[in-house]
Amino acid sequence: MAAMACASAPATALVPSSSSCCCGSSSSSSLIGTRVAIAPLRVNKVACRSLVAVSASAAAVEEQTEEKNVQRLLGIYQEKVVPALQEEFKYGNSFEIPQVKKIIVNCGVGEASQNAKALEGTIRDIAAVTGQKSVVTRSRKAIAGFKLREGVPVGVTLTLRGDVMYSFLDRLLNLALPRTRDFQGVNPYSFDGRGNYTLGLQEISVFPEIKFENIDKVRGLDICIVTSAKNDAEGHKLLSLLGMPFKEMGGGRMSASAAKKATRVTFRGRRK
């Protein structure tokens, strides 16, 4: 109570003596030695507390949403993906069942060598989308045709693992890809022969975390999903069960090995 009384009581100041006062009138001399009340600076503590509470609640909601995304995708993997892979490929050990190991995200910023703000904006956008800070990539050699010197920034990259990886993959499959303009499915041919899949996005703005008013230039993303699959057929089955919307070929979904074979046959036919 004493502390509250002190906080609410007005502050006082002593008027200086005539020797230090610059005014010599009688009215001012009569006030010498008296105390004058000064209105205290009042801070609306209720408003400050409400702002802090709103910020804390927003952060808590965001963490809960990310945790739900991770748990949902892991639940799909354990309840749906694992039994389906075991039934189709007849694994002798549970450790042989393929899973997503990591996701590598790359973004090129060609004007970063001449515009530092472009690189800062890209780092900010990538952090908002993935939840992790990226690393700046630099040129390895100088190219005169592109006005590029050795060691200058040319883009950003980062590697996602664990819960952050599952959260990003869930938002990629269920939010970003469906919002892509004229989306008809992803290319089923983009496997590397060892079950790893590479995907390109033309616009990073398909993620709901990106605000259009903060975009200075439309940029894309290169996403590489690294799995523990032994071949493309296992990797294709794994990602399709997780929800990757591959393009339909001939009225049904096509395995990666069959898709590559069809591509080679088509190419040979055209060359003839």
pLDDT tens digits for range 64-121: 566 666 788 888 999 999 999 999 999 988 899 999 999 999 998 877 767 777 888 8
| Residue 125 belongs to domain with CATH number | 3.30.1440.10
How many Cβ atoms from other residues are within 10 Å of residue 2's Cβ? 6
Which domain covers residue 209, as residue numbers?
A: 51-271
Residue 17 within any structural domain of the chain: no
Residue 57 within any structural domain of the chain: yes
185 vs 18: CA distance, rounded Å = 87
Residue 136 within any structural domain of the chain: yes
Contacts of 154 (CB under 8 A, 6+ apart): 108, 109, 110, 112, 113, 137, 138, 139, 148
CA distances from 78 to 83, 147, 166, 194 (A): 8, 51, 13, 22
Residue 68 within any structural domain of the chain: yes
188 vs 256: CA distance, rounded Å = 6
29 vs 147: CA distance, rounded Å = 77
Residue 55 has pLDDT above 90, yes or no: no
99 vs 231: CA distance, rounded Å = 12
Residue 34 within any structural domain of the chain: no
CB 194 within 8 A of CB 219: no
For the chain, how many structural domains are there in total? 1
Residue 169 within any structural domain of the chain: yes
Q: If pLDDT is split at 50, 70 and 90, which confidence band does 43 have?
A: low
**pLDDT score, position 235:** 96
**DSSP structure string for 69-132:** HHHHHHHHIIIIIHHHHHHHH--SSGGGS--EEEEEEEEE-GGGGT-HHHHHHHHHHHHHHHSS
Residue 22 within any structural domain of the chain: no
CB 204 within 8 A of CB 219: yes
- Quick one: DSSP state of residue 158? E
For 148-191, write each residue's pLDDT tens digit. 778 888 889 999 999 999 999 999 999 999 999 888 899 999 99
pTM: 0.67
Residue with tokens 């190219």: 143
Residue 37 within any structural domain of the chain: no
Q: If pLDDT is split at 50, 70 and 90, which confidence band does 242 have?
A: very high
| Percent of the chain clearing pLDDT 70 (strictly above) | 65
